[in-house]
Structure 1
């Protein structure tokens, strides 16, 4: 009887740097082998003091930039996007993107300058370039922003031609049939995936490495336990040879700072408890899933 090869999967926790409790939870899960990637909000004040503890785990997980253009103070002046010193909410940024307001030379220069500052803040504290770039609230997919992200990734890969896989980008698209079968936050998942067609085409044209499947979107309302959602996220992710599935998660340990800066609090605790517990380990074993870093897809 032939043994079935395991399905490899990148499990990526977003929002490192947002709050000490988020950072501690992510580090604990990486150390336990329950995460293989994390994305850093390098414009947040907790990134610099919490980078050293994450560096101790650098061989266990990919660490990338979670490019942020919503709700936070930018790292430098952005008179067009953040005239009052705070980046716009997602809905406003999306409206600007699809009305062409991010296409002007001046606003594009602002976006590229802020991306450069966030990359510099990442590199200075991490000691090297990011393994990947994605976007907080998926803003890296938006027109006027995706061009800067792809150019930055191409520059990183040109500077590091010997890297095992190259810096990669998170793609958020999924086949519509797969989203419908999963039945989790269907309208939200379709919207997020539908925004990514332009980024997908650009990444392929430029030879930027990327995941081939994506899951992890839900409504954070807590109506369904996370233990019921994760098996659905795993359904159908093995696309055969060459498949590179990625699931995003948002674990955290609630603390005063998290409650101050973000509305997503208790769902983070629920995710952390599940990912740290025996039920998740049993699910991975039952489904023959091996958590991997992105370079592990080539093995």
Structure 2
């Protein structure tokens, strides 16, 4: 039977958001979360993950955009890393200092292992920045060396599945930017998810989108979500975080998964 991984991105975005994600893990509404170890509250928040079910997968959410880096670097402005669009342009033009990227990736791995006492179960990137040119081989090589049993997120999917997704344009765009990632990961001896969903408009329609994310699922079907408290200043998806948390509290994810022929270990 195909497996469902329902992953809350952005653990440690704020302590309030971490509390919500930890609650949803403990109550079986999620079975994975991806952690922002770059955040100053990460070390304290990580204690919340020590009593979640053993079936919960705890991964590393590499952050190279919109936050302060662990190590100052040449592509920050005002101490904050650029948004995904400027970073994508810099990567496409080969204008990133890859030594600085590698140092930052290593530091975020270090923080994960210091807090959790083990390597991450999987590796991905905030705004999928881990898939960008130049950055991708650094992430894969580091994961191979430091977390060889981990899998790596890819947004690649079958064409029929992509055209059936909510916000299909975004789904197709993310798949395009991830093209070749699974093949590159396999060359490093790493696995990837098989099937990916989770894009929608952060527009209050998560309840409508969630079951559609499970259509045409892959063998290791990854659905990203962003539940939280939505209280951090400047959070552009704050309302959506609260809505997603409320929806997940109200539904039976395991029943929904079963209706779509998916096993959900929570």
Give TM-score scaled by structure 1 length. Answer: 0.84
- The residue number in structure 2 matching 1:234 is 214
Q: What is the alpha-carbon distance in structure 2 between the residues aligned to residue 101 and residue 282 of structure 1?
A: 48
Q: CA deviation at 1:221?
A: 2.6
- The residue number in structure 2 matching 1:97 is 91
Q: Runs of 5+ in structure 1 lacking a partner?
A: 1-5, 159-165, 294-299
Say if 1:157 and 1:124 are closer, same or farther in 2 by CA, change over 3 A: closer
- The residue number in structure 2 matching 1:296 is none
Q: Does 1:273 align with 2:246?
A: yes
- The residue number in structure 2 matching 1:88 is 82
- The residue number in structure 2 matching 1:153 is 143
- 1:39 counterpart SS class: strand
Q: Runs of 5+ in structure 2 lacking a partner?
A: none
- Give 1:9-48 correspondences, 5 Å limit: 9-48=4-43
Pairs aligned (count): 266
- 1:153 counterpart SS class: helix
Q: What is the alpha-carbon distance in structure 1 between the residues aligned to residue 225 and residue 147 of structure 2?
A: 26
Q: CA deviation at 1:58?
A: 5.7
Q: What is the alpha-carbon distance in structure 1 between the residues aligned to residue 135 and residue 214 of structure 2?
A: 30
Q: What is the alpha-carbon distance in structure 2 between the residues aligned to residue 180 and residue 290 of structure 1?
A: 23
Give TM-score scaled by structure 2 length. Answer: 0.94
Q: What is the alpha-carbon distance in structure 1 between the residues aligned to residue 141 and residue 53 of structure 2?
A: 25
Say if 1:143 and 1:155 are closer, same or farther in 2 by CA, change over 3 A: same
Q: What is the alpha-carbon distance in structure 2 between the residues aligned to residue 37 and residue 253 of structure 1?
A: 18
Name segments (4+ residues, structure 1) moved above 6 Å.
none
Q: CA deviation at 1:135?
A: 0.1
1:220 to 171, 182, 202: 202
